[in-house]
Structure 1
Amino acid sequence: MSVEITLYTKKATKTALIKFLTTEGFQKTRHFLDGMNTPDMIHYMWYKFDNYESSSGVEATVYKVSTEERTKYKCSEWILHTRTRSSGSYEDKQKQNETIRKARQLFEGTFYNDWYGTNAYTNLNDYTKFSPLEKGISIIASNSIEKLSQIENCLAGYKNEVSDSFANMNIESMKELLKTKDPSIMLYNSLMPFLVAILEYFYGQCFANFIKYDTNARNLLIDEKLKIGIADVIAILQKENSLEQIIAQSYNFQNLDSINKAYKKYLSIDVMSILSERKKVNRKIIRVLVKIQEILDARHRFVHELDINYNLTKQAYLDYIATVECAILLTVESFKQRGLKIEIDH
C-alpha cells in the first residue's frame, strides 16, 4: 500500500517542475515498468540514507496530462505526482508533505491525497517517529528474521531421491553405513555457517548501531584507547568505514564470550543472561544459550576440521533455525525493556 499525493498545478511547466525536484534533492530514475518511461512521464526519487532516515523514500513523477484532464482538474499541462509506501518512515511522509507544500507555493493549484482527501496533507501524528537507533535495530532484526524464513522455506519443500532411498532401507547396518554418502546430510551440515552468519550480522550490527547512537555508549568511546591505522583513518574520511564498525571489528561476534564482553562493556547488556532462558522451540523446551553454543561449535568444527555430523536431520536443522530466531527475539525484547521502540517485519 502507498500514500499518493497529486498536485494539479495551475502554472507549471515541465522544465520548472524538473528544476524544482532537483533543488529538493530528488534524483532522476527509471520506472520498473519500461512502458512508464516516456517523454511525457519523467520519474524522480528522493531517499535519505543518513541515520536510516528513509525506509522507502519518496517517488515523484512529472507528467503531461490530456486535454480532458486539464479541463476536469483546471490544471496546467504538466502536473506532479508523488508516492511513498504506507510502511515508509515518518521522515518519508514528512518529505512528501514538504514537497507538495513547496510545489503548491510555486505552481499553485489543488492537490489530492488518496488517504486524506483534497488539499489535505498526510497527518504525521498517524505515524510513529523512530530514533536512528530504533530504526537501525528494526531493520537489522527484520532482515535477520527474513533470511531465516527464506532458508526455512527452501528446506520445507526440499526432497532428495537418494536420501529417501537410504532412509527407506530395512537393514539398519546399511543405513548407518550409507549416512556418509547421504547428500542431504552434507547439505544440512554445509548450512550451519549460514546460521552463524545471521548471529554475527545481528549482534555485530546492533552493537555498531548502539555505539553510534546510544549516548552512554558514545561517552565510553571517549575513554577508549584504540590504535587506528592510516588506512582506517582514510577509509573513515572517505566514508568507506566508520569508527563504530572499526570498534565492532575488534570483537568476534561468532563467539558468545566475545559478544557478551562487548555488550556488557559498552551497553551494560548481559547477552548470556538473556539467552539463558528456557523457551519452547518447535514443541521442545530448550535452554537457548546451550543450543546457540551448539550451533557455533558445529560451524567451527565443520569449517576448520570438515567434521560432519551424520545425525543432522532436516528437522534438527529446522530446530536450529527456530533457535536462532528465538535468540534474536529475546535480545530484541531486552532492547525494548530499555525503552526502545522496535518493529520487526515478519
Structure 2
Amino acid sequence: MRSRVWWPTTAVVLGLLAAGCGDGDGDKGADKDKAAAAGASVSGSGYPVGVTDCMGAKTTFAAAPKKIVTSNAAGLELLLRLGAGDKVTGTGFPPGKGTLPAELDAQAQKVKVLGKMVIPKEKLLGSGADLYIDTFASMGGMGGGMGDTPTDAEYKAAGIKHIYLKSTACASNRKSPVTDLSAVEDDITSLGAVTGTSAKAKELVSGMKKTVDAVQSVVGSTPQGSRPTYFFFDYDAGTKQPSVVCNRQVAHAVITLAGARNAFADCDGDFKQVGWEDVIAKNPDWIQLGVRDRGSESANKAAFDEAQKWLQDNAATKGLKAVKEGHFVRIGSERTTIAGVSNADTVREIAKTLHPGKVG
C-alpha cells in the first residue's frame, strides 16, 4: 500500500519576504529595494530583517538564527543550497537517501529526523531551535495522531520563530492564478536574508531566471489554443479520487512556463479532489506521472512504471488521448509542486518533452 503524499491546503498566509546585503554599497541598495518591493524591512547593515504576514504581524531577526528546524525536505534543500545547512538541527518529512542532488545528499542525511512525517508538537517545541521553517500552511487537517500544531504562544515560550515558505503555504489564498516563479524566488531571497546568505540567494535566483527565460524565449509566445493540455497525475495522493493541481499552485506556473495548458486551470485554489469523469472530460494531451522520489534511479523507474501501468489498465483512464498515445512525462512530484531551485529545471524538462527540437 502506498503512503499518501500530504500537501495541506488550509492557508495561514505568510508574506515571508526579505532581502539582505551584498558586497558593495550598490549591491546593498539594490537588495534593500528588492526587499521593500516584496514588503520586507531590512536595515542598511543587513539586520534587523523584518518578516511580515498578511495580517500585519511582524517577525524580526536581529541576527542570523543558529539552530533551524525545517518541516520537510523543501526547506532543508533550500538551506543546503544557500550554504546554511550547518545551522539545520532537525527536519520532518526527511528526504530519502539519494533523493537530493549528490552534492547535497550527504549533508541532508546528517540532519536529525524529528518526524518521518509531521514533527510531533512536543519534539518541535523541545528541539532547541530558534527558527522553524514551515512549508505547509496548517497541520490541523493532518490528523492521524501526528500531533497538534503549536500555538503562537507556545512557539514564543519555546523561543522559536515560526515562518513559512509562502509559495506553497499561501498558495490557496492567492487572489489570482500564479503564472511565474516569483513567489519561489521570494522564498529563496527571504531565507537568504534571514540566514545571512543573500549573496548565494541572489545567485540561485539569477540561475532560475536564466533557465526560465531561455524556455520562454522559445515557447512563451505560443498561443493558448496551440498549447497541449497537461494533467499532473498525483499518483501518490491516491487513485480512487484524483487530486489535481489548480491555478494557485506553483505547479500551475511550472506547466504554464513550459508552454502547456494546465488541464485544471479553471480550478481556483492549490489542489482539489475531483472525479475521474472530470479528468476524462478534459482528455489531456500529456500526463505527468507525479510520484515522490524513491531515492534511486531504479526505484524511481519502478514507481513511474507503476503509475503508468495503472493509467493504462484502469477502465476509466485507458481511453484518454495521452494514455493511448503514450504521452507521459516522468518528473517527480517534489520538484514540480514544492518551492525549490529545481522548479526552473522542471520547466525546461517539460518544455523539452512537449516542444521537441525547440528547447535545448
TM-score by length of 2: 0.23
TM-score by length of 1: 0.24
| Larger CA Rg, structure 1 vs 2 | 1
